Structure 1
Amino acid sequence: METARLFNFRKLTEEELISYRKNGYLIIRSILKPEGLKQMQTECMEAWSREKESFDPNKSWLQNSLLVNIHHQAATVRDYYFEGPLVEMASEIIGPNIKGATSQLTFKMKGNTKPFGWHQDNGYGELEPYNALTTLTALDDTDRGNGCLWLIPGSHKEGQIRVYQNENQKKSQSEIIVKADDSLAIPMEMKAGDALLFNCWMLHKSDGNMSESRDRRILFLRYADADAVEVYNERKPRLGRLVKGKTKFKEVEAFEADL
């Protein structure tokens, strides 16, 4: 697939890098070209429809909102994840050696009015070194009406926030919610085809989708240092395809062939 036909490639400016270090996030406008957005929407919805139904208030947020490893089911997502403009941007933020750490659809379909409280992405999968990058690519226009993300600029400087969960909470995969000052939050409103990049320690949340006619569909891709380990899993290397540079872990090198 000719990625240049689907995605807009560019490097981050020095001003953007300074802003990222200060505020912990960046919005990249029109990272998907119109044809790339259309193909990604089509492929993602085909995958979603094979495994998901319409919103059901009796189901968990995992059942209603997430579809993991979407790059296995959508060729455009796979190319975007492994060869798209986010790879170079991740390298500019993290360093020269990068691997893909997570790929999933994070959908808040119309009718899903469930909010998701304040949290850090590194709270759900603590990786070290602590420079993992979350990227959210909007497949719909996302605003306050249909459940856009909110974040607190600069909150990444607080570092890892420890939240105690008992064994029952861990087994039930309950939400890891932290306390935060809502008055400091700003909405991350985006047009379809935009991408939001933020630090693994960024405090963020989303409200419910209050729109009666609009979905809020997002592609969630996470990148990490090629040698990042899972702190919660006996410090084993996080498996993921090496997309730039090199790694000291043979397991990660071998994982590169897993598309």
Structure 2
Amino acid sequence: MKREEWFNYQKLNAEQLNTFRENGFLIIKKIINPAGITQIQNECMTAWKKEKESFDPDKSWLQNSLLVNIHHQSPAVRDYYFEGPLVDIASQLIGPNIKGATSQLTFKMKGNTKPFGWHQDNGYGELEPYNALTTLTALDDTDRGNGCLWLIPGSHKQGQIRVAQNEEQKKSQSEIIVEADESLAVPMEMKAGDALIFNCWMLHKSDGNYSDSRDRRILFLRYADADAIEVYNGRKPRLGRLVKGTTRFEEVKQFESEL
């Protein structure tokens, strides 16, 4: 199978676009075919094992569960991130000019029972304009048993929630937890190869992985307007590879141009 056949390219229809506007999220089924999932799993696990050890309850979430810039270590992820079906979907939801803003693995391996509380992704890296997208592609079947995501439909309409942090909390990269009505939460159960897409203001959380035999491995890719700036960093342009359209920032035009 050719690499481009690993992915299922598609456009969102009017109903899906309206659902995203109202609820703030969509699940796209089978966006990666089984052969593509196997390749991505293999490459991601090779990278993971180079840098990560087994789960340690005394380590931070960052140490136990996250590996950044996975597209630097996985050619299959790089193709999916920069040229896969999520790029066209992002252009429908954000606009014609798109850049990749983040790529990472967020793995909750069996035995990692640490929850991650309610938060907005734009709380950890506030970008403007406020239309950045988080995409989570499941590399395993994910459900309540192995720590799937939960979110609150429509919560993106609250806008940016400000959480005060002192300098020590910022330096330690402590969790930015916000209050949420648990009764409104919906589990995002997916099959391997499905992708969850949601607005940067969406309230979401994940519980621990209480399965004794199943990992919960997710590929986290974030897309933003090509001219998006970092509000938290002197309003500098967010660096990321331009994947569609144009940008006014020369730094973005040149970023990762060698890849």
- Which range, TM-score by smaller chain? over 0.9
Cα offset, 1:4, TM superposition: 2.7
Counterpart of 1:24 in structure 2: which amino acid? G
Secondary structure of 1:101's partner?
strand
| 1:193 alignment partner in structure 2 | 193
Aligned partner letter, 1:81: Y
Shift of 1:2: 4.2
1:139–1:193 Cα contact (<8 Å) kept: yes
C-alpha distance in 1 between matches for 2:3 and 2:163: 41
Unaligned runs of 5+ in 2: none
Separation of aligned partners in 1, 2:69 and 2:16: 29
Report what 2:224 is aligned to.
224
Which secondary structure does the structure 2 equivalent of 1:102 belong to?
Answer: strand
Task: Give 2:110's aligned residue.
Answer: 110
The residue matched to 2:140 in structure 1 has which SS?
Answer: coil
Structure 1 segments unaligned to the other structure (5+ residues): none
Partner in structure 1 of residue 101 of structure 2:
101
On the 8 A contact 1:131/1:200 being kept in 2, the answer is yes
Deviations 1:2-59 (A, max 9, x none): 4431100010111000000000000000000111011000000000001111111111
RMSD over equivalenced CA pairs, Å: 0.9
Distance 1:65 1:213 in 2: 17
Distance across 2 between alignment mates of 1:3 and 1:249: 31
Deviation at 1:105? 0.2
Q: After the TM superposition, which segments of 4 or more aligned residues of structure 1 sit over 3 Å from their partners?
A: none
Aligned length: 259
Distance of 1:251 and 1:44 partners within structure 2: 28
Query: Identity of paired residues, percent?
Result: 80
Output the amino acid matched with 1:245: G
Are positions 1:62 and 2:62 aligned together? yes
- The amino acid that maps onto 1:135 is T
How many Å separate the matches in 2 of 1:3 and 1:243? Answer: 18
2:241 aligns with 241
